[in-house]
């Protein structure tokens, strides 16, 4: 499993579109990404739109229902969340869910998972949020249950947060399903990635990226794991336009708190920036979203054409 070039769909508010046509627009982006050489399509696991992208009442589709439908709309591209909020789901049920997605998609599922962070969603939907430390305790227990279940081994845990009593997980298509953690915490997140994950999607400001790469390698070495066995990718907010005027207009919409992880320019300009500032920092792959205009026909194709040479020649 490798995510060298991922396309994330974080926005479901499309000007002039209707709810009836909403999924058609999502599926079209996934099919364009598949045809353009992206190897993975990813959706957020949220119930409200995130600050900086749109208003909380804006459209947000439930992640695993969407991925199940995308499995039938595509044929080769891998399917994942970036990332599942652990606090929203019982871990044994999550293992069952992603394994069913793998069967439905004929072996294309990846389990993306993180500790959860959007407090308002927890409050409004009635999920316990807890402290920062408690959310990572829960994530560690969850992974202790999920990891064996994805391998077809019964899971048993009498934990502080979760219980499993020989939980089985059939049918399964593959001997194992890859686990990807998402986040940027050098102590808690990276330690769990070193123990449990096949892939780490690093989310951080660009200036912090070299330090994050070094810290992740150190967490692997501390437990005797070869850092080369833990693949990495970086989440990019793409403000990509076809003309100088469009690029200028997009630049005016960049959320203030995302400026240090946003790439602005034409497809070729963004590709050059990513080569210099992300791949040269030691990252294996790129996951990009196009929050303002990814729904526009042809843009995903042009971005894929610009980015694919970066990862195929790396």
Q: What CATH number does residue 181 fall under?
A: 3.20.20.30
Cβ pair 307, 279 in contact under 8 A: no
Read off the pTM: 0.97
Given a contact cutoff of 8 angstroms between Cβ atoms, the answer to whether 124 and 56 are in contact is: no
Residue 2: band (very low, low, confident or very high) from pLDDT cuts 50, 70, 90? confident
Q: Is the pLDDT of residue 1 over 70?
A: no
Distances (CA, A) of 182 to 37, 81, 162, 234, 285: 22, 10, 21, 9, 13
User: β-strand 5-9 against 285-289: which pairing, if any?
Assistant: parallel
Over residues 284-313, mean pLDDT: 96
Tens digits of residue pLDDT in 49-78: 999 899 999 999 999 999 999 999 999 999
Residue 219 belongs to domain spanning: 5-312
Supply the pLDDT for residue 248: 96
Please give the tally of structural domains in the chain. 1
Q: Which tens digits make up the pLDDT trace of 218-228? A: 999 999 999 99
Strand 78-81 relative to strand 111-114, pairing: unpaired
Q: What value does the mean pLDDT take over residues 120-148?
A: 98
pLDDT in tens, 178-207: 999 999 999 999 999 999 999 999 999 999
Q: What is the mean pLDDT of the segment spanning 156-172?
A: 98
Question: For position 183, what pLDDT does the model report?
Answer: 96
23-53: pLDDT as tens digits: 999 999 999 999 999 999 999 999 999 998 9
């Amino acid at each position: 499993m490798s995510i060298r070039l991922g396309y994330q769909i974080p926005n479901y508010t499309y000007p002039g579109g209707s709810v009836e046509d909403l999924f058609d627009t999502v599926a079209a982006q996934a099919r364009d990404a598949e045809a353009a050489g992206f190897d993975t399509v990813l959706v957020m696991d949220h119930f409200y739109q995130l600050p900086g992208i749109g208003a909380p009442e804006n459209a947000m589709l439930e992640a695993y229902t969407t991925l199940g439908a995308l499995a039938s709309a595509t044929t080769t591209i891998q399917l994942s969340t970036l990332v599942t909020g652990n606090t929203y789901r019982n871990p044994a049920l999550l293992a069952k869910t992603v394994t069913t997605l793998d069967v439905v998609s004929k072996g294309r599922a990846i389990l993306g998972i993180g500790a959860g962070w959007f407090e308002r969603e927890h409050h409004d939907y009635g999920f316990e949020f807890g402290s920062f430390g408690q959310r990572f305790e829960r994530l560690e227990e969850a992974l202790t249950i999920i990891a064996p279940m994805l391998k077809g081994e019964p899971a048993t845990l009498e934990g502080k947060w979760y219980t499993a009593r020989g939980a089985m997980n059939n049918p399964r298509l593959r001997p194992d399903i890859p686990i990807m953690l998402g986040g940027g915490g050098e102590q808690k997140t990276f330690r769990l990635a070193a123990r449990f994950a096949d892939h780490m999607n690093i989310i951080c400001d660009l200036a912090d990226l070299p330090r994050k790469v070094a810290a992740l390698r150190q967490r692997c070495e501390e437990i005797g794991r070869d850092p080369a066995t833990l693949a990495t990718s970086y989440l990019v907010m793409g403000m990509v336009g076809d003309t100088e005027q469009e690029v200028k207009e997009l630049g005016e919409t960049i959320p203030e708190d995302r400026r240090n992880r946003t790439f602005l320019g034409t497809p070729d300009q963004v590709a050059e920036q990513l080569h210099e500032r992300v791949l040269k920092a030691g990252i294996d792959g790129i996951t990009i979203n196009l929050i303002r205009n990814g729904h526009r026909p042809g843009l995903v194709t042009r971005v894929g054409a610009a980015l694919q040479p970066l990862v195929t020649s790396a």
